[in-house]
Structure 1
Amino acid sequence: MIIRRLAHRPVLLAAGLFLAFALPWLVYPPVAMDIAAWALFAAAVDLLLGYTGLLSFGHAAFWGVSAYVTGYIALHTGLPFPVAVLGGTAAAGLLAVPIGLLSVRLSGIYFSMVTLAFAQMVYFVVNQWRDVTGGENGLQGVPRELFGLDLTDPFVFYYAGIPLVLLGLAALWRIVHSPFGQVLVSIRDNPSRARALGYPVDRYRLLSFVLSAALAGLAGGVFSISHGFASLHDVYWTTSGQAVMMVVLGGIGTLWGSVLGAALIVSLNDYLATAGFEETGIITGSIFVVIVLLFRKGLWGTAAGLLAGRLQERRPVREPSGPKSSARQRSSSSVASKSSG
């Protein structure tokens, strides 16, 4: 596909790395960290939606559970925050196994509703387990411990936390460009044919679901450490909806589009909140509707398609070589000789 060929270009990858490390110089560092965490979360959702063909409204459960587990480990053990984040990531992956086993056999709206139901069950458990989660107050005062280094400055913490996000994005990129990723795309396009070819469709879907959940958990853990707390909003279903909106805005099945969608939504929410506008959902929802109507492939997908079209127009047309072309040349030369005679 055109977008995949563009994503393979080293120049594009280098530009992405440059923007990732320059981001806290361009926006407020906590906002930069939010953009990075949400970008990874949206890309993880895109692995399931864009490459496996399953729309999940329950990924807030994995983002939120990882946020709580990460915060609990950091609060009660004093371990470095990367270890706490990895603990939250493992918890999200483990939670995804039973949920996935009961969900991946379904598809379409049925899969979406089942994942939403499980997410609401997790929300209820987190809300009621007050001794561990803090209930409505959440976990507060989550430390940023890293071998005695002072990470209270958001600018310094950004450069300590961004490697985790970049590793998650690199893992996603490797997954979708591997043979495993190609099988996921074939299952998305035609599960019956993939099953006829001998691929265990449900097993592949389950593995994709668990990987997507674990990487969403990695993003949630980084987000929890960055903000210093974990709240009920992290496990509420609207968090899943926001990640899906980011994927659709950027372009389904692109990964890069998820990063672009996250940057736009987080930056817009921050700008509106700073300006004192409380009903940010009205603005973001309106923009979402306009983009969906005008850019069916999302911002990144549409831009990549237009660029590929321009390059195709500028490419010179070459005469075909082979027996037919040589015969055509002989016939034209014979006609020219007769006319001259």
Structure 2
Amino acid sequence: MPRHHLALFAAFLTIAVLAPFFLYPVFVMKVLCFALFACAFNLLLGFGGLLSFGHAAYFGSASYIAAHSAKVWGLTPELSILAGTVVAAFLGLIFGYLSIRRQGIYFAMVTLAFAQMVYFFALQAEFTGGEDGIQAVPRGELFGFISLEADRAIYWLVLAIVFFGILFLYRIVHSPFGQVLKAIRENEPRAVSLGYQVNRYKLATFVISATFAGLAGGTKALVFQLASLTDVHWAMSGEVVLMTLLGGMGTIFGPIVGATVIITMQNYLATFGAWVTIIQGVIFVIGVLAFREGIIGVLSRKIKKPL
């Protein structure tokens, strides 16, 4: 790992460790969960060149399964999150296998169609609670004996999941697999001519991205003790796209910055009521236009070191 990347990871970890002592822990955990979600999506779009409009399907399905597992089945937190992640990975495998047969806007629309199927299933299924969602989800005890009911107690679990999740995604990007993935993004016909089985790489990337999106969704469900239709709504897919674009598509730390900016905006703009969506939209457009390469993309170009 290059020294400047190591320094950035160290800075991220230091800030995350100190944050709950100065900020509301639940707010920081929300930022962390969406940072992992955005990093998972960035693997697919920024490094794989595949634009999905339906990543809320994996985030939301994992949220529902984790919440149901904890509340109804009485599973421990780590098993509940794992159950949600496995379901997200399975959906990613099925939807990805069918989606990668198309390219460009057709691929994007197919992923959106699958996401809408998941949304309507969540709306109609009995175990999801319909419009009410699954509420009062118990956080339980980690490994059966460490209580996570206190916000600061579960914070350390969330931080560990997010930090190692992002570190794992970083390793994927900088592995031989990641280099082939970039080659496919830049020139797919040439990658095919070199003998790479492009569809297998695309499918693997899709599944990995869906898996980590599910990991973020399952963790978020336990943090907020809630799984709702918002988690599988198409607007959630739109938000993660904006996080990636605003922070810097195709960079490692850009999605983290984008998620932090957008979640902070949502938190502090909530007092504007019905105007919040319009205000957010204007700020998003200005931000994307001002930082066409993303915040991190612009900064990295200025210092001549890709982040």
In the TM superposition, what is the alpha-carbon distance from 1:276 to its structure 2 partner? 4.6
Q: 1:289 is aligned with what amino acid?
A: V
Tell me what 2:221 maps to: 224
Tell me what 2:43 maps to: 47
- Give yes or no for contact 2:37–2:240 (8 Å, CA) kept in 1: yes
- Give yes or no for contact 2:32–2:158 (8 Å, CA) kept in 1: no
Three-state SS of the structure 2 residue aligned to 1:229 is coil
**Structure 1 residue 290 corresponds to structure 2 residue 286:** yes
In the TM superposition, what is the alpha-carbon distance from 1:281 to its structure 2 partner? 1.9
1:241-289 C-alpha deviation (Å, 9 max, x unpaired): 000000000000012000000001111111112x354422222211221
- Give yes or no for contact 2:99–2:111 (8 Å, CA) kept in 1: yes
Of 101, 105, 108, 1:105 maps to 101
In the TM superposition, what is the alpha-carbon distance from 1:152 to its structure 2 partner? 2.3
Three-state SS of the structure 2 residue aligned to 1:297 is coil
**Structure 1 residue 139 corresponds to structure 2 residue 134:** yes
Of 278, 281, 285, 2:277 maps to 281
1:90-129 equivalent positions in 2, closer than 5 A? 90-129=86-125
Residues in 2 aligned to 1:160 and 1:101: alpha-carbon distance in whole angstroms: 32
- Give yes or no for contact 1:35–1:263 (8 Å, CA) kept in 2: yes
**Structure 1 residue 266 corresponds to structure 2 residue 263:** yes
Residues in 1 aligned to 2:10 and 2:2: alpha-carbon distance in whole angstroms: 15
Q: 1:252 is aligned with what amino acid?
A: M
Three-state SS of the structure 2 residue aligned to 1:55 is coil
Of 251, 254, 260, 2:251 maps to 254
- Give yes or no for contact 2:48–2:184 (8 Å, CA) kept in 1: yes
Residues in 2 aligned to 1:185 and 1:26: alpha-carbon distance in whole angstroms: 39
Query: Hey, which bits of structure 1, 4+ residues long, moved more than 3 A?
Result: 275-278
Residues in 2 aligned to 1:298 and 1:5: alpha-carbon distance in whole angstroms: 22
1:291-310 C-alpha deviation (Å, 9 max, x unpaired): 2222111101101111228x
Tell me what 1:10 maps to: 6
**Structure 1 residue 37 corresponds to structure 2 residue 33:** yes
**Structure 1 residue 241 corresponds to structure 2 residue 238:** yes
In the TM superposition, what is the alpha-carbon distance from 1:9 to its structure 2 partner? 3.0
Three-state SS of the structure 2 residue aligned to 1:13 is helix
Tell me what 2:176 maps to: 179
* RMSD of aligned Cα (Å): 1.5
Q: Which has the larger radius of gyration?
A: 1
Tell me what 1:324 maps to: none
**Structure 1 residue 62 corresponds to structure 2 residue 62:** no
Q: 1:135 is aligned with what amino acid?
A: G
1:94-134 C-alpha deviation (Å, 9 max, x unpaired): 0111111111121211111000000001111111112x111
Residues in 2 aligned to 1:5 and 1:113: alpha-carbon distance in whole angstroms: 38
Tell me what 1:195 maps to: 192
- Give yes or no for contact 1:272–1:278 (8 Å, CA) kept in 2: no
Tell me what 1:152 maps to: 149
Change in CA separation of 1:240 and 1:253 when aligned onto 2, cut-off 3 Å: same
**Structure 1 residue 23 corresponds to structure 2 residue 24:** no
Residues in 2 aligned to 1:271 and 1:277: alpha-carbon distance in whole angstroms: 11
Residues in 1 aligned to 2:282 and 2:36: alpha-carbon distance in whole angstroms: 24
In the TM superposition, what is the alpha-carbon distance from 1:137 to its structure 2 partner? 1.0
Of 203, 207, 212, 1:206 maps to 203
- Give yes or no for contact 1:61–1:123 (8 Å, CA) kept in 2: yes
In the TM superposition, what is the alpha-carbon distance from 1:78 to its structure 2 partner? 2.1
Sequence identity, in percent? Answer: 46
1:19-71 C-alpha deviation (Å, 9 max, x unpaired): 12122223211110000000000010000000000010110000000001101
Question: What 5-or-longer segments of structure 1 have no aligned partner?
Answer: 310-341
Residues in 1 aligned to 2:52 and 2:165: alpha-carbon distance in whole angstroms: 19
Three-state SS of the structure 1 residue aligned to 2:146 is coil
Q: 2:201 is aligned with what amino acid?
A: Y
1:161-217 C-alpha deviation (Å, 9 max, x unpaired): 221111211111111010000000000000100001000001100000000000000
Of 78, 85, 104, 1:89 maps to 85
In the TM superposition, what is the alpha-carbon distance from 1:16 to its structure 2 partner? 1.2
Q: 1:243 is aligned with what amino acid?
A: V
Change in CA separation of 1:5 and 1:113 when aligned onto 2, cut-off 3 Å: farther
Residues in 1 aligned to 2:220 and 2:128: alpha-carbon distance in whole angstroms: 16
